[in-house]
Amino acid sequence: MFKTILFILTLISLILPILSYKYFMQLMMLVRIRRGGILVSGAVTLLIGYIFFMLPWIFVGEDIVEIRVFSYYVIMLGLIILVYGVMRIYLDWRGVIK
């Protein structure tokens, strides 16, 4: 029961980024966010970390500490990329936005 619910929720959380990517591509055709690539790579890394985090729970049904720590480090990498991207966007916009 637990595994089924977890599987369905994880599946939804993995389908939604596909939808988000579709919107992102539409946006990139209209707008000029130069750091778009950085944001995407940050978000993809986060997603990979999240998948690793969920894998033991879905397939084994319990936590594996080594994989959890590994996923945290992958997520950390994604967050570092995002910090850089958000910071650059903030610096780019600072002079323009009123």
Partner 1 sequence: MNILFPVIANLLLSLIILLISINIYTVYRRKYILWFVFALFLLPVLFIYAIFESLYLKNIWGVLFYPLIIIIAEIAVIMAQKNLLSSLKAEEGEEYRLLLREDIALIRAFGKLANYFIGRISLLVGIKSVEEILDECIEEYPILAGCYIGVDEKLNTEAMEAGMGEVVEGRMEEICEAFSYLIIKLIDLYAAMVPYGEIVDDMVKAIGRIDKKIARYFMPFILFKIILEPFLREAKGDELRALRLSADIKGIYIGRKGEIKYHWIYRFEEEEREEKFVELLRIILAIFENSEEIKKEITESFRKLPENVKENIYRYEFIKKLPKGILDEEKIVLMSKERLIEELIDRQKKLEEAYERLAEAKLDKMKSSFIDIIAHEIKTPLTAIKTYVDLMRKEKLGKLTKLQKEKLEKVAKNIEKMTKLIDDMLQIPTIDAKELELRKELFEVKDIMEKIIDDTKEMAREKKQKISVDVEPALTVFGDKNLIEKAIKNIVTNAIKYTPEKGKISIKAMREGNYAHIQISDTGKGIEKSELEKIFEPFYSRGGGAGLGLAIAKNVVESHGGKIWAESVVGKGSTFHIVLRRKRE
Binding mask 45-64 for partner 1 (x = CB under 8 A): -----x--xx--x---xxx-
Cβ contacts of 48 within 8 Å, gap of 6 or more:
74, 78
The CB density around residue 42, as the number of other CB atoms within 10 Å, is: 21
Q: How far apart are CA 33 and CA 28, in angstroms?
A: 7
List interacting residues with partner 1 (CB under 8 A): 2, 5-6, 9-10, 12-13, 16-17, 19-20, 23-24, 26-27, 29-33, 50, 53-54, 57, 61-63, 65-66, 68-69, 72-73, 75-76, 79-80, 82-83, 86-87, 89-90, 93-94, 96-97
